């Protein structure tokens, strides 16, 4: 399954008053794993850069003056995202700008049915908010220390980690692809059968003290009904018989 996490930077907040896209960053995911097949481009907006926008992303009119115009990168961008699920934070903002630029350049606009908004996902999971990217990084323990300014590619890379947490956690990245599983099977003898887990030759020593075990057993006796924890706790009688 192919997905693209993306972000844009613009000259302002309203495409209808002449604001334009100045940067696009896309991170490709295959089965929720980053592939390093990214798309990143700076764009000449063919207009000035308002001070408010410059303070957000640090892209000056001078820096962008020799960069390609959107019409020059539209084909490559369209080919990269075509028929692919797109993921963005506050996606309606980015899609509004990109669709305006694509239509102006003569390319099909993005189908909103293919768009996933991580802001909407975060609001459903954390209704009390806030749910901006920095806060979500803090909640999920994601390093965003390099994010001193907004940048489309860096924000997309960070958002990819946030997205994986929102759909169930980054442990997804530890799952083997079918190709990787076949390689592992071949290395194990080519049978395709899952190899049994090896047992530890010497069991790890218990970290609980005798006093902690006794205190927990006393607590369990006070709990009404069947307690599943009791199945995993050593019983004093059994311990006495072993020692005798």
Joined together, the tokens standing for residue 110 give 């993005």
3-state secondary structure the chain: CEEEEEEEEECCCCHHHCCCEEEEEEEEEECCEECCCCEEEECCCCCCCCHHHHHHHCCCHHHHCCCCCHHHHHHHHHHHHCCCEEEECCHHHHHHHHHHHHHHCCCCCCCHHHEEEHHHHHHHHCCCCCCCHHHHHHHHCCCCCCCCCCCHHHHHHHHHHHHHHHCCCHHHHHCCCHHHHHHHHHHCCCCCCCCCCCCCCCCCCCCCCHHHHHHHHHHHHHCCCCCHHHHHCCCHHHHHHHHC
- Rounded Cα–Cα distance for residues 126 and 233 (Å): 37
Q: Which is the catalytic residue, given 40, 57, 89, 150?
A: 150
32 is catalytic: no
Cα–Cα distance measured from residue 221 to residue 223, given in angstroms and rounded to the nearest whole number: 6
Chain centroid to Cα 56, Å, comes to 22
Active-site positions read 150
């Amino acid at each position: 399954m192919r997905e693209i996490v993306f972000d844009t930077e613009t000259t302002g907040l309203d495409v209808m008053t002449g604001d334009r896209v100045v940067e696009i960053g896309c991170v490709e995911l295959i089965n929720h794993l980053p592939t390093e097949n990214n798309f990143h481009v700076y764009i000449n907006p063919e207009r000035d850069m308002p001070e408010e926008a410059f303070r957000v992303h640090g892209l000056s009119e001078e820096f962008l003056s020799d960069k390609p115009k959107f019409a020059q990168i539209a084909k490559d961008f369209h080919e990269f995202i075509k028929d692919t699920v797109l993921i963005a934070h506050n996606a309606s903002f980015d899609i509004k700008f990109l669709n305006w630029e694509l239509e102006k350049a003569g390319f099909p606009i993005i189908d909103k049915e293919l768009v996933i908004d991580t802001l909407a996902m975060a609001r459903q999971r954390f209704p009390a908010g806030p749910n901006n990217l920095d806060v979500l990084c803090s909640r999920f323990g994601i390093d965003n220390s390099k994010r001193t300014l907004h940048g489309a590619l860096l924000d997309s890379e960070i958002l990819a980690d946030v997205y994986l947490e929102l759909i169930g956690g980054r442990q997804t990245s530890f799952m083997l692809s079918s190709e990787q599983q076949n390689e592992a099977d071949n290395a194990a003898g080519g049978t395709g059968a899952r190899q049994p887990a090896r047992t530890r030759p010497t069991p790890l020593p218990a970290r609980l003290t005798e006093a902690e075990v006794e205190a927990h057993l006393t607590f369990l006796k006070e709990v009404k009904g069947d307690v599943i924890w009791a199945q995993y706790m050593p019983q004093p009688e059994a311990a006495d018989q072993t020692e005798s």
